[in-house]
Chains A and B, each alone.
Chain A
Amino acid sequence: MDDLLREFLTETSESIAQIDVELVKLEQNPNNPELLSSIFRLVHTIKGTCGFLGLPRLEHLAHAGENVLGKFRDGELPVTPLAVSLILKSIDTIKTLLAVLEATQAEAPGNDEELIAELNAMAEGHLDHVATVSAPKEVHMDDAPVFPANVPDEHGFVPVPASETGKAQTASAPAPDAKKQEVKPMEELGTKESAVASQSIRVSVDQLENLMVIASELVLTRNQLMQILRSQKDSAFATPLQRLNHVTSELQEGVMKTRMQPIGNAWSKLPRVVRDLSLELGKKINLQMVGAETELDRQVLELIKDPLTHMVRNSADHGIEVPADRMQAGKQETGTILLNAYHEGGHIVIEVSDDGKGLAISRIKTKAVQSGLATEADLANMTDQQIMQFIFKPGFSTATKVTAVSGRGVGMDVVKTNIEKIGGTVDLQSTEGKGSRFLIKIPLTLAIVSALIVECAGERFAIPQICVVELVHASAHSEYHVERINNTPVLRLRNRLLPLVSLRRTLKLGEDKDSADTAFIVVIQVGSANFGIIVDRVFDTEEIVVKPVSPILRHIELFSGNTILGDGSVVMILDPNGVATRVGEIHAAESSAAKQNARQAQGRTDGKQSLLLFRACGAAPKAVPLSLVARLEEIDRKTVEYSDNKPVVQYRGKLMPLVSIDVDAKMAGEGTQPILVFSDQERSMGLIVDEIIDIVEDRINVDLSAQRPGFLGSAIVVGKATDVIDTGHYLAQAYQDWFGKEQEGAFGEDSLHRVLLVDDSPFFRNLLAPLLTVAGYTVTTADNAADALKLQEEGSVFDVIVSDIEMPGMNGFDFAAAVRREGGLWSGVPFIALSSHATPRDIERGRMVGFTDYVAKFNREALLATLQQTLSSVKVSA
C-alpha cells in the first residue's frame, strides 16, 4: 500500500475515534465551544486530506458534515440529539468507506446523495422532518466495520504516545488532540504542524516488542550478576555492578513506558456504545469513567478491550433497568455505569459497576439446574457467591429474551477466559436490587511478573503473586496445623476449612511427608475458589520473565510457563487455574452435576437408581433413593435439644426436627450421630440412622409390600434383602402438614398402567415415582411440560397423566390445554392435576381446560385412589 495512503488511514481512524467520543460529550454539553471547534477541525482535516489524496466521495460527505458542524459552531443551529445522530451516521459511513479503502486501496464506488441531502437540509435549518426519518436508523450503524483507535493497523504500527500529532506527510493535518491547543482559525492550521510533528515518530510494534525482549534478558542477566555479587564481599565489581543495576532498572522502566498506553484508549469506544444502547433499549444511562489516564501495557490493553466492552454492554443491557422500573425501585431515573481503573501493587484493577438490578440468584439457580450445570442438591450447598460464578460458565445467560445486545449465551465465559489468559482474575459482587460490581485484576505487563518462589521435593517452582493471598506456616505446635479427612489435607483458617492441595502429590513428586512435619501453605485465590498449596519451603518473591514452555510440554496444564531465576536455573511457573482445575476445586460442582446427569440419563434407560444404604433399627440394611437425600451429616449428640418432647437440632440457623426409624430408640449421650438430611425448599428433616453403609446403583424392585408403616417394602439390593424406607412417612412425622394425613397401605395390582408424572420439583418426582411404582404403575417422569410434550411427539403412550400445576415455563393449565388439543396423541388420556393449594376457582378452571380430576399435591392416598378410580372409569367407558 502507498505510504501516504497508509498514513492517512491510520491518522483518520484515530481522528474518527476521537470524533465519536467528542460528539457524545457534545451532546451532553452542547454549549462547549472548545469541543465544537475540536470536532469541526477533525472533520475539516478529514475533508481536506481526502481532497488532497483524490478521494471525492469521502470528501463530499465530510464536507456536508462539516457544514452542519460549522453551523453548530457559529450558533446558527442548536445541538440536538437528532442532529448529533445524523453526524454520527455520516461518521459511520466514513468508517465504512475507509474500511473499503483499506481493503481495496480504492474508494468504494457509489455516492451518498441521500445522506448528504439530509445533512444539507439540516444545515439549512429545515431538519425536522428529515431527521425524524433518519433517526431510527442510526442506532444500527455499529455493524459497520469500525476502526479501532489504537490497534496497530495491518502493518503493525501503533501510535507512540505523543505521536497522535505525528503526521508530517499530510501538510494540512492539524493535531487531533485539540484540547491542548488553542482554537485557531482554520486557515492558519495548515502550516503550523511541522514543529509538533517532528517531536514524535511512529515506531513499529515489532521493534518495541524486540526492545522489550532484549531489556528482559538484560534484567535476567543483571539478576544473575547481583546474585553472584551477594556471595562475594569486597568485590571490585561491586560499584560498577550497582551502577549497572540502576541503569538496567531505568532502561527496563523506559522500555516499558514506550509500550504503556492509557487505559482510556480502550474505553474510547464505550461512550458511543452506551449511548447507542441506551437509545435502543429505552434506558437512561450515564457512563462515568474514572482513572482513564492509568497506563498499562499495550499488549494487555488490546486483550482486555473486548472483554471490557462486553461487560459494559452487559451492564447496560441486563444491569440497568428501564426508567419506570428504576423509579418504582426508588432509584434515580438515570442509571450509572462506573468504570474505574487504578494501580494496586504491580497490578491494574479495573472496576465495572452499575447501580442496576443486580444478579438474580434464583434465576441463576433455575438456569443452572436447567442447563445441567448443577443439581439442586449441589446448589443447596453453595453460597450465593459460588452460585453467581455460574454466569462465567459457557453457554450461560439468564437473559429471558435474546436481544441483539446480549443474552446470546456467549460472553461472560469468554470474558473470563480472556482475562485469565493474560494472568488476570475476575471477581464479582452483586446485591439484588442494588447493582453489580466486577473487579478485574490484571498484571501491568505480561512480560515481567512478580512471583513467589517455593520449593517442593527439592525442586523450585514459581507461583504468580497475583493469586497468592497469604502464607501460613503450619506445624504441630502452632495455632495452625494440617488435619486430614480420609487422607485429604485441610486447614482451619479463621473458622473456615481451607482445602489443601499437596504440590508433591499433584506433581507426582513422591508421597507426602509425615503429617506431623511442618509445612508451608500458600493460600491461593482463583476466582471465587480458595485453596492452599502445601509446599516444603518458601523463598522470596522475584520478578520473573515469563517464557512459554516448549511445545512438547504444553499439554501439562499445571504450568503456565517457565523462567530463568537469578541464579541461572530454570523453574516452572505454576498455573493456579490449572492446579485448581486439576484438584477439582473449580469444577467440582460442575462435574458432580454432570455425573448426576449421566446417572439420571442412565436411570431412564435401565431403571437403575442410586441408593443410599444404611443401617438403623435392626441389622437388615435399609435403602433410600439417594436423590431424595439432601445431605449426610454428623451431629454432636450434645447439641440435640427437645422441643415439645421431640428431638430437634439447630441446623443452618433453623431448628430441624430429628426423626428416628425405631420409635423406641434413644440417642445415647455422647459422641456424634449420623443423620440423613431431607429437605424441600424451606424445610429440612433429619433422619437418625446408626450407620451409613454405601451408595450403590441398582434397580428398585420392591418384591414384598411392607406391612409396617414407614417402609415401602423389601427389595433385593446388591444381592441382599433390603428394606426400602418410605421417606414420606418420616417427613410427615416431622411436619404434620408435609403431605396431609398419612395412611399406608398397598395399592392397585394392575401393573399395566403407564403413568406420566410431570412435576418441576425433583423432590416430588423422586418421591412420587417410587410410590407409584410400588402401587403397580409404570412411571415415566418429565420435569416440565415442554419435555412431556416432546414425549408426545415421540409417540409415547400413557394411560394417565399426573401433572403439577405451578411449573416454570408452561403451567399445568396450558399443558392440559396442549394435551387436549384436537387430534393430539394424548387428547383422550385422563389428566390428573396436582396442586398444593386448590381453590374452587382453580378447580373450575381445571375442568374447563380438561383436567379429569384434581388432587391436592400432598395427599398421596387421594392421589392413588383417584388414579385407580380414573383408570377404572376409563376401562368401563372403553
Chain B
Amino acid sequence: MTDNLPTKATNKLPAAVAEVASREFVTMFIAGQMFGIPVLQVQDVLGPQKITRVPLAPPEVAGSLNLRGRIVTAIDVRVRLGLPPRDGGKDMSIVADHGGEFYSLIVDQVGEVMSLPAADYEKNPSTLDERWREVSDGIYRLKDSLLIILDVQRLLRLEAAVAA
C-alpha cells in the first residue's frame, strides 16, 4: 500500500498542473454521440465480456463480471441515457474507478485519449434533455463535433439504488 503512494502522487501532479490549460479524456461513442471520461478515472478498456445477470438490479445494471479476480459491476450507459438497445455489433467497456469500486461502463465504441483545452469547455446547454443533463459535466467544442463529459459519480446514481 505504502509503496503505491509516491507513484500516485507523481501521476497526479502533472494532471493538476495541466488542468489549468487542458485536460485529458478517454473518448467513446454511444449512438453516434461522442462522450469523454477523465483519463485518471479510467482503469481499463475491455471488449465484449461474459456478464452475469443480477436479478432484481436496477435496469441500468447489466450485470457483474470478473476482471482479473475482481468483481466489477457493468452499467449499460445506453439504458442509463434512455437510449434504445444496441442493435447487433460488439460492445466495448470502459472500466472506471469510483470510490474504490470498479464499474464497467458498456458503450458502443471506445475512441482515443484526447487532450482538450479549457478554452473549448462550456457548461451544459439549458435545453439539454434532463436525463442527459444529469450525467453531463459539460461540453467540449471539437472541430467537427461536440464531446459530452460524463460525470461517473452521477452516472452511478441509479434511481432504484438511491431509493433503497
Contact = CB atoms under 8 A, between A and B. Distances in A.
Interface of A: 217, 220-221, 459-460, 507-509, 547, 550-556, 558-559, 562-564, 568-572
B61 interface: yes
B79 to A, nearest CB: 14
A553 B54 contact: yes
Contacts of B54: 553, 556, 559, 572
A562 B52 CA distance: 11
A713 B126 CA distance: 69
A732 to B, nearest CB: 54
B53 interface: yes
A559 B56 CA distance: 10
B158 A217 contact: no
A463 B11 CA distance: 43
A550 B103 CA distance: 9
B65 interface: yes
Given A220-B69, A562-B64, A570-B71, A555 B55 contact: no
A555 B66 contact: no
Nearest to A459: B53
Contacts of B57: 553, 556
A571 B52 contact: yes
Given A555-B160, A555-B161, A555-B164, A550 B101 contact: yes
Given A552-B161, A553-B61, A555-B164, A569 B52 contact: yes
Contacts of B116: none
Contacts of A217: 69
B58 A552 contact: yes
B42 interface: no
B50 interface: yes
Contacts of B99: 551
Contacts of B58: 552
Contacts of A571: 52
B69 A221 contact: yes
Contact of B50 (A552, A559, A569): A569
Contacts of B63: 570
A562 B73 CA distance: 11
A550, A554, A556, A564 — which one has the most chain B CB atoms within 10 A of its CB?
A550
Nearest to B75: A552
A681 to B, nearest CB: 45
Contacts of B103: 550, 552
A72 B138 CA distance: 81
B55 A459 contact: yes
B61 A568 contact: no
8 contacts: A459-B52, A552-B103, A552-B156, A552-B161, A556-B54, A556-B57, A562-B71, A569-B66
A508 B55 contact: yes
Interface residues of B, number: 26
A570 B164 CA distance: 24
Interface in B17-71: 50, 52-58, 61, 63-66, 69, 71
A570 B65 contact: yes
Contacts of A547: 71
Contacts of B69: 217, 220-221, 564
A220 B66 CA distance: 12
A507 B52 CA distance: 14
Given A552-B103, A552-B158, A553-B73, 9 more contacts: A507-B55, A547-B71, A551-B161, A553-B54, A553-B161, A562-B64, A562-B71, A564-B69, A572-B55
B53 to A, nearest CB: 6
Interface of B: 50, 52-58, 61, 63-66, 69, 71-73, 99, 101, 103, 156, 158, 160-161, 163-164
A429 B55 CA distance: 37
A508 B59 CA distance: 12
A551 B66 contact: no
A564 B66 contact: yes
Contacts of B158: 552
B73 A550 contact: yes
Contacts of A220: 69
Nearest to B64: A570
B101 A564 contact: no
Nearest to A548: B71
Given A507-B55, A507-B56, A550 B64 contact: yes
B41 to A, nearest CB: 16
- Shortest Cβ-Cβ A-B pairs, 4 listed: A555-B164, A507-B55, A550-B73, A570-B64
B73 A509 contact: no
Contacts of B64: 550, 562, 570, 572
B52 A552 contact: no
A398 B26 CA distance: 63
Contact of A551 (B52, B56, B101): B101
A572 B61 contact: no
B80 to A, nearest CB: 11
A568 B66 contact: yes
Nearest to A206: B1
Contacts of A570: 52, 63-66, 71
A197 B160 CA distance: 56
Nearest to B53: A459
B28 to A, nearest CB: 20
A449 to B, nearest CB: 16
A358 B8 CA distance: 61
A653 to B, nearest CB: 44
Nearest to A572: B54
A4 B66 CA distance: 46
B151 to A, nearest CB: 15
B23 to A, nearest CB: 26
A552 B56 contact: no
Contacts of B52: 459-460, 569-572
Contacts of B71: 547, 550, 562-564, 570
B116 to A, nearest CB: 29
A547 B71 CA distance: 8
A237 B71 CA distance: 28
B70 to A, nearest CB: 9
B50, B65, B66, B99 — which one has the most chain A CB atoms within 10 A of its CB?
B66
Nearest to A220: B69
A568 B73 CA distance: 15
Nearest to A571: B52
A332 B63 CA distance: 62
Contacts of B101: 550-551
Contacts of A460: 52
Contacts of A508: 55-56
A95 to B, nearest CB: 34
A552 B66 contact: no
Nearest to B69: A217
Nearest to A456: B55
Contacts of B65: 570
Contacts of A507: 55-56
B108 to A, nearest CB: 22
A509 B55 CA distance: 7
A460 B53 CA distance: 10
A506 to B, nearest CB: 8
Contacts of A552: 58, 61, 73, 103, 156, 158, 161
Nearest to B156: A552
A233 B61 CA distance: 39
Contacts of A551: 99, 101, 161
A569 B51 CA distance: 8
A508 B53 CA distance: 12
A349 B36 CA distance: 54
Contacts of A559: 54
Contacts of B73: 550, 552-553
